[in-house]
Amino acid sequence: MAAVPVSVITGFLGSGKTTLLARLLRDPAFARTAVIVNEFGEVGLDHLLVEVSDEEIVLLDSGCMCCSVRGDLVRTAGSLLARRAAGAIAPFERIVIETTGLADPAPILQALMTDPAIADALCLESVIATVDAAAGAATLDAHPESVKQAAIADRIVFTKTDLGDPRSNGLAERVDALNPAAPKLIAVHGAVDASRLFGGRAQANGPDVRAWLAAEAVPRDSADHAHGHAAGRNDDAVTTFCLRRSTPLHAVTLSLFLQVLAEHCGARLLRLKGLVDVLESPGRPAVIHGVQHVFHPPAWLDAWPDEDCTTRIVVIALGLDPLWFEALLDALDGEVAALQAGAAAAAGAPTAREG
């Protein structure tokens, strides 16, 4: 049975997550969607607003999803899958998780990626962040959580556009600087082009990989990452950049690079996506994806998704210098190349580069 795609809808309190979800669920194309929401506060208002049959709604018991996600989410998703397999509920084709407005989406993604009880049956499809078109700028200023939610997303939906125009009040430009790779959608009373909201996971060999990576939207030069807006705002600390290499990387280099990032950057590495030309795997690039220190196993494509056969690694980070990433990647590859070439020379064998 194919893995069930799971998407996460995040966004600050009152940014219209539930309105968006409710509209989506009215669309017949999303009838077979199971929804996991969680209560926040004493009354689960969000739940009451979602118009979908009881069997397909599961409420998490605890208040804040980011604090209890590893237990509750895994248990809830596992329960949904088991009931689906047993025929006790409709055979849903997608799961959507709506986070609380205060939730850090990273632990949610990590739970989905790592827990063996559900990881095999699910695949991460998309992270969607809602941003209030009228109050979004003030929210970004006041709440670092909202910056992280927007920075980590695959898609950003501007909501409440009847109250404010994100293109004229500067919000769109600000969010674009924060997360240039994510497509920006406009919702009108919760209605949005659903076909652009979901999908886009790193499908093997499909053009979706390119759309998923969206490296073209990220500044070419890591030194150009500065956003050019007033200093001191929460989003000033977020840098989005793309590491590019026209020569293949050693597999060991890639492994060491991710290891160093995980060891030293921790939670400041918000997200990393990449399409990597690996020396030992010519013509079959590796797709990598990580959230903070947690990564998927690399996926290997049968071919490059487009004519660009070079390494592109998109990084979204908090307070980290892109030039450090550049230097680290080169320095590690230099060490690995020297080690392998030296060992090959000592053994009288040709090096990998020599074939």
Q: What is the DSSP letter of 278?
A: B
**Residue whose CB is less far from other proteins, 226 or 345:** 345
Residue by residue, DSSP assigns 157-225 as EEE-TTT--TTTSSHHHHHHHH-TTS-EEE-BTTB--HHHHS-----TTSTHHHHHH-GGGS-SSGGG-
Residues in the chain: 355
Strand partners for 132: 159
94 or 184, CB closer to other proteins?
94
* Minimum distance, C-beta of residue 355 to other proteins, in the bound complex (Å): 18
Q: Cβ atoms within 10 A of the Cβ of 343, count?
A: 11
Shortest gap between Cβ of 51 and other proteins (angstroms)?
29
Name the minimum Å distance from CB 112 to other proteins: 7
Quick one: 99 or 253, whose CB is closer to other proteins? 253
Smaller CB distance to other proteins: residue 48 or 231?
A: 231
Residue 330 CB, nearest approach to other proteins (Å): 5
Minimum gap (Å) between residue 243 Cβ and other proteins: 14
232 vs 348, beta carbon nearer other proteins: 348
Cα dihedral 185, 191, 196, 200 sign? positive
C-beta of 112 vs 242, nearer to other proteins: 112
Smaller CB distance to other proteins: residue 46 or 277? 277
Instruction: Write out the residues near other proteins by the rule CB under 8 A.
Output: 1-3, 5, 110, 112-116, 119-124, 201-204, 256, 258-268, 287, 289, 292-299, 320-321, 323-324, 326-328, 330-332, 334-339, 341-343, 345-346
Query: How far, rounded to the nearest angstrom, does the alpha carbon of residue 351 sit from its chain's CA centroid?
Result: 37
| Structure token pair of residue 280 | 């030992």
Phi, psi values for residue 315, rounded to 5°: -120, 135
Residue type, 129: A
Instruction: Tell me the closest approach of the beta carbon of residue 350 to other proteins, in angstroms.
Output: 13
Q: Which of 253, 254, 332, 262 is nearest to 291 (CA)?
A: 262
Catalogue the E-assigned strands of the chain.
Answer: 4-11, 33-38, 57-60, 94-98, 122-132, 155-159, 184-186, 238-245, 269-276, 286-291, 294-295, 299-300, 311-318
- Least distance (Å) from other proteins to the CB of residue 315? 13
